[in-house]
Amino acid sequence: MVSRRRSIVGAGQGKFTMAGKKAQIDENKLKARQARNEAQAKEEQSIWAQVNAQAEQAVIAAKRKQGRQSTYRKELGDEIVVRLASGQSLHSICKLEHMPHISTIYDWIAKEPVFAEHYGRARENAAHTLFDQMIDIADNSSRDLLEDGSANNAAIARARLQIETRARVAGKLHVRVYGERIETLPQTVTNNLTILDANSLGADQRNALRTMLVQARDHKIIDN
C-alpha cells in the first residue's frame, strides 16, 4: 500500500515538474519575443531619426540650389539623361555640386515635355544597363575563393544580392522587357490530382513551375 501511494505521489510530482518546465519555456519564449519587439522598435526609431535628418538636410540643400538652378537648362538636362541611362541613380546625380536639387528636376519633368520624354526613355534604357551589369557580376569570379581555397560565401552572397536587386529594378523600369509575367506564385497550387506546396520547392523548381503555368495559361489549359 505504501509503495503504491509513493508511486502515485511520485507521478503527481512528475506531472507538476513537467508543467513547471513548460511554463518556464513559455515564459522564456515570451521574454525573448518581447526583447525582439523592443529591439525592432528601437531600430525603427533609429531609422526614422535618420530619415528625418536626411529630410532636413535635403530641405537645406534645396534652398541652396534652387535659387541658382531653378530654371531649366538643356545642357544639364542632357547630362542628367545620359547619367540616368548609364545606370546612375537620380539621387546620386543630384548630390553633384553642379546639379540642381531633385525637386527641381521633378519640376522640369512636369513643365518641360521634351525633357520629360527623354527622362522616361533614359529610365527604360537604364534597365538595359542594369541587365548588362548583372551579366558582368555573374561572370566575375575573382572573389569567389578565399586565400585558403575555400568558398568566399560573403562575396558570393553579396554578388547574388547585387544581381537580384538589379533584376527587380530593371523589371520596374522596363516592365515590357524585364518584368515578370507572374509576380508571385500562390502558396499552394491545386488541381484535381495534385496539391503542391510552393514553399517546399527550390528556386529552379519554382521557375520551372512558373514557366509551366504560363504555358498552360497561354494555351487555355487553365484559366487565369
In the chain, domain spans: 1-68, 70-179, 188-218
Contact call for residues 106 and 62 (beta carbons, < 8 A): no
| pLDDT tens by residue, 63-104 | 666 555 688 999 999 999 999 999 999 999 999 989 999 999
User: Per-residue pLDDT for 186 more than 50?
Assistant: no
User: What predicted TM-score, i.e. pTM, was given to this entire model?
Assistant: 0.52
Strands 195-197 and 188-190: antiparallel
Q: Region 179-199: what's the mean pLDDT?
A: 52
Q: Tell me, what's the pLDDT at 53?
A: 78
User: What confidence category does residue 160 fall into, taking pLDDT thresholds of 50, 70 and 90?
Assistant: very high
Report how far residue 6's alpha carbon sits from residue 70's, in angstroms, rounded to the nearest whole number.
91
Contact call for residues 84 and 122 (beta carbons, < 8 A): yes
Find out if CATH 1.10.10.60 is the number for domain 70-179: yes
Q: Taking the CB of residue 20, how many other CB atoms lie within 10 A of it? A: 10
Q: Tell me, what's the pLDDT at 189?
A: 44
